[in-house]
Structure 1
């Protein structure tokens, strides 16, 4: 990727054409300036003409700083001189001239701040070219602030491109595409523009696509740009880089060899292309050339290109199994990618990260270094080397966490989560291995901590952010701006998803980019006020202690980790952290998937097969931890990967007794999410909202709309709520959006759709008062994320598939339930598959009955299901798991007040007394046994 080209400015007044000309006859300093301009812009320039131009610029500056004849012109001279030096790639010399222009401008009356826009951008560019992105970012942000006040400032597209470059350098590729696209549309909005700029901006966009693995889109742009016959060397380099990313080293070399002249990035990429073809000699040759070039150009100055050279050199040593040499090279690479880190000791890693630049390469280098240490242990058998591998992984996680806190969007954070997840098995395995070797329990805590780092990470970070916002440190105006912009972006994206006209799509995309850029600015201001990006990486020991404090005495957390060879269950209670590890059974994942599929059946006789599956999974998942669950009544399940689909309530012991009968079961995404949420229970006077849009048939223009099946029992569900209810035509999306933030309990008895391929197309349906406009009655997933439900303690979605969705490794199901968690509601009851209307209504009615009796949510749902299974009026055929096991509670531990607890105790005593009376009555009339 390459930066915005810098231009020689031929016209004397191009920067400040509005400045006053003090005399009709040009004074001496202007004549000298014109001479400098002619020399600077001559077509056949040489080193000699460049030096003559620079000498004349300096003469003008010396004359005007001495005489103060024309400070406005001096301002122009500073900026022009800096820009000229920038064209010559003399960045260090250019920066002082830009800085002098900033200082001078404050002493000139009648010149507004818009005059600073270009020098701020140029100064940022110089710092970026010097591999100082933090300083570059500082000046870009100042330029952005000027542009906010002067939106018509010229060359605004240049700023958008550079902001894209900065976002790219932080690894926030999705954000960079927004800025690049904005740069392109701004440039194209001019009546005339330089096509070389268009090539630059589009090429940058394609490079971001490449990083996002949108390879076909990237190649299409690059090939279209070749037709302009501008910057062809850079385009060939970028095309080669795409094939390199695709693992096609042969084609990559074909394009990379067409690039002239050689540079460090090109040599690095050629080396990598040869490496993946197993041509290690050619790879080593190119890396030597890159190192020699770096020595000539940079000396001992740290830079990221040399960091990559060192990383690739280490990879070569790894291939030769020369692990000590590889580790030395990785360490030097870390030094060059983390500018404020200076240790050459391979056993020391960065612990504090003050930057977010070049992080993608640094993350890869830390992972490679950790792998090298693990392999070294297999040769040395020194525990120190295994410990070093673990510490390197911990450094990797600290950096990843640091980056995520700087990112503004879930999309960007999820990319980091994915990078963490792909390597999460190794450090946990190392922890367990070190525990086996040392019996030191700190390694179990570390294993648990690392497992948590790969579960619901973006959700817990979002909840943490919400807490900071709610603390009152952020202005209400900023928060409202954020909500408004999110709603606008969602609306435009949903419109685009239903649009096929290319012109309309382009307009919608432009509006999304405009809103997104505004949103980024607002979120940056919010982050400054909340201090989210300044919070330290969480400490594993403190997290466990904090977690234990919120676990009730009769409760336990079962947090699962599916390893490469082991199935690990962390058992956390108020008393401590334990773990059990068993060999991963053959076909385990297949059995879990089969259980999910079988559990949904409502027809046929699959009782025997279901019982066998349930008992097998019980032995694998629950039995190893049974000894640690003595006296426990409530289980909090933190599933891993495919276990997210499994309804644990259906598991059965050897006697056939369901887990449901022994424990209440609640699910959550991670322990970090538990810590981030509230454990407030339902108050006795909780406000309740019930919605049933499809209790009757949907009639439009006198005809039944077959798309929406009537849910005739949904009214029964909602009536049991004993709150405010809306049915059929009253149950609109608009009504829900207005009413929802005001209620503590919300019950939606409706239809829902989970789209596994595109989660953003998942939705909840309300009454289709305008059936031709899906947006008017479908509440889409992104809209739910934007809801503000801080007052809501429980949402019940007895809608089909509301708990299902795309499984994102390390994050869980991207479901409607998860979206409600984002909106501020801690407890959500959802359906994991297409529900039976009548059984769902029965369980829902019982659920509300027990909630009103003061039961906790988990206990109320458990008892409602047990009542259903124990009701003799319901046929055995309708007691298959498909009828009752779909409803799942995702939530937190509940802290019940004394009144609630007393109510539950009294209710239990009354039920017990009633049962005893029945037994006594039956025994009185029992026939005497014959002697």
Structure 2
């Protein structure tokens, strides 16, 4: 659900009219009445009269009248989606209300409501939630609760519930709706309309959780009320949802009963007839009655063509798509493809770019692959390429966790179909160009993955880009979306509306061009759809480097490997056992007490599946791995390559990681700056949670101070220890340093990636957790960021979302490379590893080589004791730019020795002449 249809038009009536007791009262009253006549129909006329009231208020120096007039124009602007006017009014109201110290009156809460509404229209859910939560806080703390505040609190609860549902926090949403229901039910005069509204909202959440029976318990109450009160449209909608739920519960008779009952309500409402047939088709489909379902869909198509010949009807593309899916189930793939094409034709001819079109591309591509011939695979590649172009066009509109789930459900299957077709064509023809196609689709999937990381972060501020630019960008997108939606559902389109849409699109294009020039990091994050081709990636590789890119699909894992002059592709069939083995390997690696023999056996088994087939074709010593899915949790250097000698891959190869080659190209383009080091070693009370937001207890790190002291023997810089290692100190000076070392907890939360964070010494005077969203507002000049002592909050393995989100935030803020751990490693062994890592860096070695040698040194030192277990050393990985921080000191020795040799052979005088 892209927007929230929960706007309660009550605030126009809420401001308290306090008029000056003089002749201006009648003038103001007259102007307001004139404005009211235009409130919903002609915004400019409404503005004209309300603005006259505003001028009178300034003349008579009446703040209350001025505030009231601004609220009225804000109401008009909200109704007509004039976001620029809303923003200007909110800024003025902020100044007025807070300058009078009017923090707790109805006016301040009305202002909060409009702020919540404004940010809701911009799809800035975090800011919207903050405003509505403040209203509820004010309501709960108020001694005397006015009627206005009570109404605002009730509306705020409903909005918050919707916001929580959008973010997938269903328990929070249900709790708020149930509270609203309880409050309404125990009031003296029960507002049945408000009660019914909350029944519907609660049912909507339950539907998201697929709790169909419980949802129907509330929908049945809403249906009874709406039917009794002759709220026909609402009653029909209730009946449709009830029927759908019975259909999911395989209670066919009850489902059809409610559908037929609803039919009596819309005899003269053609808009509902196709919806009726589509729902009936779904009920038969749920009962495996595919032919009957197709008959119902044909009825829906017939009704639409008969009644909506001159008007677009979104049900038509839905009908074609559903018919295509049914034809596939019956094995008629050519008929299915015909219907998907009809659906795509309807969808692509809309004025607005509807992201739901991706579903149609997904279905068509998957169907083409079912035909399993060379021509169909070629067609799949064309469809996926077209879908990729479309995705890049709509990508900037994605803004929240609902969009993230949509991308997972629709974008990834499209790329998987493209890679599957490319792989099969390569097997059929041995044409290497199909490896290039597969890589291009895989790289595009990584671009979507990085977009997901941004959506997970809930970032609202971005370093270096002014807030006014971000605000105008958001306003333009929201206004364009609103107008496009209005045009889609309107029978008669005025030329002025289309002209306005044209000018808004032109302004947005100009703004994006300006952003590209002035704020390239933000542009790359939000708008740049270009990804590197395989040929470009190969050109960027060194002679001894091997790139290994994984795509973890639902049916297969595809591995694309490339060196400067050679490329290869492999396919691995996924299975429950393979997924279980990856999970188990992570569990064994992250447990220092796990059985080493069991670990080695499983590790080698996965090595043979995941990497050995690729490495058998290449001899390069340096691996750059682009993991995907569950593979994000596996440090490949820990894989046992030779079970007889118990040799780990790290003993044969140098390994680094990155999210995509496109990102790697950007990171490699960063200039290495000075090597001033900033190190933090916070302290934690092991029995006290870090703050009220996160209940997790952070254990103390007794050896992190030693670690920091040790690395400062290799690099010059500054350290903050114990009580000084606060977040406030970190953000104050971090931009002055190029090497950042944080010997602290970095928690990767895959369930709620936005709650992934870095922890600093708790300080009651300020925050102590740096969340993912905060990283986007930092400005780093860091060649290397090391997160040492990380604590995995992963739990059930998913897609590595928390880990990716934290890394993406650091890369955006300016880090060229990140060293971190995949689980909590004992900080004593961390101290040892990190000491050698920085010693190697100071010697001019590359970052990946420095980390590898530190691990090998650790292994050699502990080969006869339990610390040889991979838990102690393999969790550290390096991502991104792996170039040396310093020029190698060996070159200084070579130059020195050359001069000595010249002195010996040429003599001092001839040497002086040589250098003249």
TM-score (norm 1): 0.66
- Say yes or no: does 1:431 pair with 2:422: yes
**Residues 602 and 468 (structure 1 numbering): CA distance in 2 closer, same or farther, change over 3 Å?**
closer
Give distance in 2, aligned partners of 1:578 and 1:165.
48
Say whether residues 1:886 and 2:883 are aligned partners.
no
Q: Which moved more, 1:564-573 or 1:456-465?
A: 456-465
Report SS of the residue matched to 1:725. Answer: strand
- Residues 742, 788 of structure 2: 8 Å contact kept: yes
Q: Residues of 2 paired with 1:110 and 1:697: CA distance?
A: 62
- Please point out which of 755, 771, 788 is paired with 1:798: 788
Deviation at 1:830, TM superposition (A): 1.9
Note the C-alpha offset of 1:579. Answer: 2.5
- The reply to whether residue 318 of structure 1 matches residue 304 of structure 2 is no
CA distance in 2, matches of 1:245, 1:762: 36
CA offsets 1:182-211 (integer angstroms, 9 cap, x no match): 999759569999975885698478658856
Cα separation, 1, equivalents of 2:573 and 2:773 = 43
Deviation at 1:841, TM superposition (A): 1.1
| Cα distance change on mapping 1:149 and 1:590 into 2, 3 Å | closer
Matched, 1:711 2:716: no
Residue 439 (structure 2) aligned to one of 440, 443, 448? 448
Q: 1:696 to 1:398 in 2, by over 3 A?
A: closer
Change (3 A) 1:193 1:525: farther
Give the Å deviation of 1:840. 1.5
SS in structure 2 at match of 1:720: helix
1:232 to 235, 239, 244: 235
| CA 671–418 in structure 1, closer or farther in 2 if over 3 Å, else same | farther
The match for 2:308 is 298
1:727-753 Cα deviation digits (max 9, x unpaired): 223223433343444432222223454
* Cα gap change, 1:748 to 1:246, in 2 (>3 Å): farther
Are 1:647 and 2:641 counterparts? no
2-side partners of 1:456 and 1:252: how far apart? Answer: 43
Q: Taking structure 1 as reference, are residues 820 and 699 closer, same or farther at Cα in structure 2, changes over 3 Å only?
A: closer
Asked if 1:623 corresponds to 2:618, the answer is no
State the 1:651 CA deviation: 2.3
- The CA distance in 2 between the partners of 1:468 and 1:678, in whole Å, is 27
The match for 1:840 is: 830
**Residues 689 and 743, structure 1, Cα contact 8 Å, conserved in 2:** no
- Flag the 1:810–1:816 CA change in 2: closer, same or farther, 3 A: closer
The aligned residue for residue 258 of structure 1 is 261
Structure 1: how far apart are the matches of 2:828 and 2:4?
A: 63
Compared CA separation, residues 759 and 719, structure 1 to 2 (3 A):
same
Structure 1 739/910 Cα, relative in aligned 2: closer, same or farther at 3 Å? same
Rounded Cα–Cα distance in structure 2 between residues aligned with 1:145 and 1:699: 39
Q: Which residue of 1 aligns with 2:382?
A: 391
Aligned to 1:748: 742
Query: Secondary structure of the residue that 1:408 maps to in structure 2?
Result: coil
Conservation of the 8 A alpha-carbon contact between 2:788 and 2:821: yes
In structure 2, how many angstroms separate the alpha carbons of the residues matched to 1:174 and 1:338?
Answer: 32
**Using the alignment, how far apart are the partners of 1:469 and 1:813 within structure 2?**
20
Q: Which moved more, 1:288-297 or 1:144-153?
A: 144-153
Within 2, Cα distance between the matches of 1:193 and 1:526? Answer: 50
Deviations 1:541-593 (A, max 9, x none): x5334434543333221112345665532123344643344666994333333
Partner of 2:515: 530
Which shows bigger deviation, 156-165 or 580-589?
156-165
Contact 1:463 1:822 in 2 (8 A): no
Task: Name the SS for the 2:881 alignment partner.
Answer: coil
1:694 Cα deviation from its structure 2 partner: 5.5
> Is the 8 Å Cα contact of residues 660 and 862 (structure 1) preserved in structure 2?
yes
Alpha-carbon separation, structure 1, partners of 2:466 and 2:473: 11
Matching residue of 2:358: 363
Preserved contact between residue 689 and residue 697 of structure 2 (Cα < 8 Å): no
Provide, for residues 338-365 of structure 1, a one-character-per-residue CA deviation record: whole Å limited to 9, x for no partner: 225xxxxxxxxxxxxx7343x32x2222
1:862 is displaced (CA, Å) by 1.0
Q: Which moved more, 1:713-722 or 1:748-757?
A: 748-757
**Counterpart contact for 2:453–2:805, Cα < 8 Å:** no
Aligned to 2:551: 561
Distance 1:243 1:746 in 2: 57
Per-residue deviation, 1:275: 1.9
* 1:471–1:164 distance in 2 versus 1, CA, 3 Å: closer
Further displaced range: 111-120 or 239-248: 111-120
Shift of the 554–479 alpha-carbon distance from structure 1 to 2, 3 Å rule, reads farther
Contact 1:462 1:822 in 2 (8 A): no
Deviates more, 1:281-290 or 1:298-307: 281-290
What residue is the counterpart of 2:486 in the other structure?
A: none
Contact map agreement 2:362 2:410 (CA 8 A) in 1: no
How far apart, CA to CA, are the structure 1 residues paired with 2:398 and 2:112? 24
SS of equivalent to 1:301: coil
Displacement of 1:719 in angstroms is 0.5
Q: CA deviation at 1:843?
A: 0.7
Secondary structure of 1:579 counterpart? strand
In structure 1, the residue matched to 2:889 is: 903
Alignment match, 1:578:
568
CA distance in structure 1 between the partners assigned to 2:458 and 2:552 by the alignment: 31
- Matches of 2:468 and 2:121 in 1, distance apart? 30
Offset at residue 854 of structure 1 (A): 2.0
Aligned partner (choices 448, 457, 481) of residue 457 of structure 1: 448
Instruction: Please give the secondary structure, in 2, of the residue aligned with 1:258.
Output: helix
Pairwise CA distance, 1:116: 7.6
CA contact (8 A) 2:640 2:648 kept: yes
Q: CA deviation at 1:717?
A: 0.8
Residues 258 and 8 of structure 1: is their aligned pair in 2 closer, same or farther, counting only changes over 3 Å? farther
The change in CA–CA distance for 1:832 and 1:429 in structure 2 (over 3 A counts) is: same
> Aligned partners of 1:827 and 1:7: how far apart in 2?
48
Structure 1 residues 856-865 or 577-586, which shifts more? 577-586
CA contact 1:176–1:208 (8 Å) conserved in 2: no
Q: Among residues 851, 854, 859, which one is paired with 2:844 in the alignment?
A: 854
The aligned length equals 746
Provide the TM-score with structure 2 as the length reference.
Answer: 0.67
In structure 2, the CA distance between the partners of 1:803 and 1:431, relative to structure 1 (3 Å rule), is farther
Per the alignment, residue 648 of structure 2 pairs with 658
Deviation per residue, 1:660-687 (Å, 9 max, x gap): 1232211222334324435546545333
Q: What is the match of residue 677 of structure 1?
A: 667
> What SS does structure 2 have at the residue aligned with 1:677?
helix
> Which secondary structure state, in structure 2, belongs to the residue aligned with residue 790 of structure 1?
coil
Mark the CA change 1:453 to 1:256 in structure 2 (over 3 Å): closer, same or farther. farther
Gapped runs of 5+ residues in structure 1?
A: 19-69, 84-97, 125-138, 341-353, 484-522, 701-705, 912-931
Alpha-carbon shift at residue 459 of structure 1 (Å): 2.2
Output the CA distance in 1 between the equivalents of 2:390 and 2:413: 16
Pick from 271, 280, 287: which aligns with 1:277? Answer: 287
CA distance in structure 2 between the aligned counterparts of 1:554 and 1:369, rounded to whole angstroms: 41
**In structure 2, what is the Cα distance between the partners aligned to 1:452 and 1:285?**
42
* Cα shift at 1:864: 1.0
Secondary structure of the residue that 1:791 maps to in structure 2?
coil
The 8 Å contact of residues 615 and 656 in structure 1, kept in 2 or not, is answered as no
SS of the residue corresponding to residue 433 of structure 1 reads: helix
2:679 equivalent to 1:689: yes
Structure 2: runs of 5 or more not aligned: 20-29, 55-68, 94-106, 137-149, 157-186, 475-507, 517-522, 691-695, 898-916
Q: RMSD between aligned alpha carbons? A: 5.5
Question: Greater shift after overlay, 405-414 or 432-441?
Answer: 405-414
Of residues 855-864 and 549-558 in structure 1, the stretch that sits farther from structure 2 once superposed is 549-558
- Is the Cα contact below 8 Å between 1:687 and 1:745 reproduced in 2? yes
Query: Are the counterparts in 2 of residues 717 and 841 from structure 1 also a CA contact under 8 Å?
Result: yes
Shift of 1:304: 0.7
> Is this contact kept in 2: 1:469–1:530, CA < 8 A?
no
Q: Distance between the aligned counterparts of 1:525 and 1:8, measured in 2?
A: 34
